Structure 1
């Protein structure tokens, strides 16, 4: 569906900590995806669907970004953490799950969408985003 589409640079993802874009999947649904640097290799980034596996809470929020601590993406609602390189969670309510990935590649410092199951729509959030701009949370986590 997508071929190869240049998204951004590795430097941009590293400087901003994460980078959000929207794709259309094979079912015609818009999906938000975020890029995060993989601490195992500074020249690598990974792409994850922007939704906690425990409860459909966004892990990246416009204006806030993605909270990454010690190489792990933190769910702002319940505190589960996902390895930025593998997407695997081994704690909290999302334990023993893995974030759905989207195929990307890096060439000469540029990040390309290479997943044939999705088509790039736009940089930034889905047009289906909630109006309130934040996750519905009962958590006492502070970032």
Structure 2
């Protein structure tokens, strides 16, 4: 089973494509897209809104940061992290999982790209 997302400026193009596919394949039409791969989709007459806030919230929960308050500065300025840290080791599997989640978020949240890249340097031994 494969999912297909159809987009067009003209509804008649979508309907024509659907009719052709139904003639060739067994097809289920799920109507308007509302949620796909962690992205909430809201469609209006003149706009399409994509939102990953629910996905981001789940990522914060997984990292134990669900109660943290949002801030404008994503990372402490001039922060120097080192692999020779004296702090306790973190769960490497959880750390990598969160970094992978951030990689997915960066497609729609380019403001986190620098921070995500910076903390990715510590994937091998977090």
**TM superposition score category, shorter chain reference:** under 0.3
- Greater relative contact order (Cα 8 A, min sep 6): structure 1 or 2? 1
TM-score, normalization: structure 1?
0.19
Structure richer in strand, relative to its length: 1
If you compute each CA radius of gyration, which structure gives the higher value, 1 or 2?
2
Q: Which has the higher helix share?
A: 2
TM-score normalised by the chain length of structure 2 = 0.21
